[in-house]
Structure 1
Amino acid sequence: MAVVKRLEPPREDGPQLISTVIVEDNVSSCTIFPLLSSLIANGKTAVVVIERRGDVEVRSLIADGVLIVGDFRHLAYYREALQAGRLRKDFEDGYVIATRYDPAIPLVVVGSGLISRKIVETAQASGFAVVYVTDSPLPPKDVLTAKLEELGNVVNERTAVVIANEGGREYDVDAVDTALRKGAWYVALMASRRRAQDSIRELLRRGHKLDDLRKRLRSPAGLDIGTASPGEIAVSILAEIIGLKNGASFRPMVEVKSPFEGL
């Protein structure tokens, strides 16, 4: 049995509050990730616990020592995860992984290939709060995952969304369409110039406005840093997200803070 504490709407004059208790039988990533996004966007630190025993997986979200959603037993891992950043405990029939999330950018990665996995891996190492939307039969164990049909449940105006499939997948445009309509502040589609144009034409056919797509859709995705490998592509996309979020100039630091001026 899971206990859910509902988050009040965001306040302009302070952090989000936690109120009404609701009881649920199952907790999915679609429940946890929007709550996690709200917490970290409002300056809170949270811990996500993923426990797998046999075929059963249980997830929990904890903040300020309070169980927001999940299993009360997971409170036992909260302080250790808060101090260590991440912990893993293995058992004969499964494991527990607890991860601390500091105030950060909520990121939704959609895909199933090597590049999407590398984006997830690099984003986690860089402090992003990540949910991986994939149809992969073997998704990573240490990340929140969701099914493709659940994408609309994990995207909101606070999230950045990256759709990354080598060569493209039939659902790519559907994912972009959903992210745009859900108001995601950053939407990127990894694509060649030609495939990006084809995707834009389809989005126009679905009713999106060209001016809006110019402002909101980043495709091809990422910064031009001469990328070639999956890791470099991941870095170029994540650097763009961080730069846009922070209002960066995207100039070299040696120009921004030149040590040569005045010498």
Structure 2
Amino acid sequence: MELPVLEALNAERAARRACVLVTEMDGGRQRLVRSVDVAADPLATELAEVLRTGRSTMLSLGNAKIFLTAHVPAPRLVLTGAVHISQALAPMARIAGLDVTIIDPRTAFATSERFPDVTVLPQWPDVVLPQIGLDPFTAFAALTHDPKIDDPGLTAALAAGCFYIGALGSRRTHATRLERLAGQGISRETLSRIRAPIGLDIGAATPAEIAVSILAEIVGALRQRNVPREKAA
């Protein structure tokens, strides 16, 4: 691999941006296609499918063979709320292959004892989220019922284009939430991306059952998502 291509690839991976390495098997010529450039590429359809699935593939174009190597950031889950649902959801999500981060400024709840093997940040979301960053390969779930904790996270998740955004609460609670967020200047179209009441409708009642419904909805969103369209740097 030529140094400029390697440097560009490393830069995209460090920034958690998806890209595809295109390799011509006859001669080994390579080029890197960033997700923001996919639509304008001659292989747009094939590249979009590789990014959607995260699976590398070999193409046969006439007598030429081209290998598309997918470089897609690992999916992760960020939760606001070190609550009972989070205690059940975190280990399930890790088994499903998601990196999990829990944010809650209430230090009595946000402890490593309650959440072993999970990154727990006992800070306010508006302080810590700019540090860890959200992106189109992040799922976000607001689980506290406390607007002071959940709203900043929801606002950040919407701005970052997270592939999944969910919020705990009844339809009445969510209607109030939408009015509150709309009052901050967020459009109704953007707010419609919030899934609430959170989780698939499976009649879940216990924290563990609600966690199952949330994780199932996240996996569905992950596998059915469109190619993320990050803005060009």
Alignment TM-score, normalising by the size of structure 1: 0.54
RMSD across aligned positions (CA):
2.7
Identity of aligned residues (%): 30
What residue in structure 1 maps to residue 142 of structure 2?
Answer: 163
Equivalent in the alignment of 1:121: 91
> Matched residues in 2 for 1:181 and 1:170: separation?
18
More helix by share: 2
Cα–Cα, structure 1 residues 11 and 205, in superposed 2: closer, same or farther, change >3 Å? closer
Q: Relative CO higher for 1 or 2, CA cutoff 8 Å, sep ≥ 6? A: 2
1:196 aligns with 2:174: yes
Q: Residue 164 of structure 1: CA displacement?
A: 0.9
Q: CA deviation at 1:171?
A: 1.8
Corresponding residue SS for 2:101: strand
Distance change in 2, residues 1:174/1:13 (3 Å): closer
Which of residues 229, 244, 252 in structure 1 aligns to 2:221? 244
Structure 2 gaps of 5+ residues are 1-8, 23-31, 33-52, 56-72, 226-233
Q: CA deviation at 1:7?
A: 4.3
1:134: Cα distance to partner? 2.2
Partner of 1:8 in structure 2? 11
Pair 232,211 (structure 1): closer, same or farther in 2 beyond 3 Å: same
Matched, 1:209 2:216: no
Q: Which moved more, 1:134-143 or 1:200-209?
A: 134-143
Q: Which structure has more strand as a fraction of its residues?
A: 1
- The aligned counterpart of 2:131 is 153
Any idea what SS the aligned residue of 1:107 has? strand
- Report the Cα offset of residue 189 of structure 1: 0.7
1:65-104 pair list within 5 angstroms: 104=74
Please tell me the residue identity of whatever aligns with 2:76.
Answer: P
Is contact 2:80-2:149 (8 Å) kept? no
> Does the CA-based 8 Å contact 2:201-2:213 persist in structure 1?
yes
- Decide whether aligned partners of structure 1 residues 152 and 118 sit closer, same or farther in structure 2, where only a CA change above 3 A counts: farther
- Counterpart of 1:144 in structure 2 is 119
Aligned residue in 1 for 2:60: none
Tell whether the 8 Å contact from 2:74 to 2:137 is kept in structure 1 after alignment: no
Gaps of 5+ in 1: 1-5, 18-40, 44-102, 249-263
Q: How many residues align?
A: 158
Note if 1:223 corresponds to 2:226: no
Q: Is 1:182 matched up with 2:185?
A: no
Query: 1:232 aligns to what?
Result: 209
Aligned to 2:25: none
Q: Give, in angstroms, the shift of residue 198 of structure 1.
A: 0.8
Aligned partner of residue 222 in structure 1, secondary structure: coil
Instruction: Give the 5 Å matches for 1:37-56.
Output: none
Structure-1 separation of matches of 2:75 and 2:102: 14
Shift of 1:245: 1.6
One-letter amino acid matched to 1:8? A
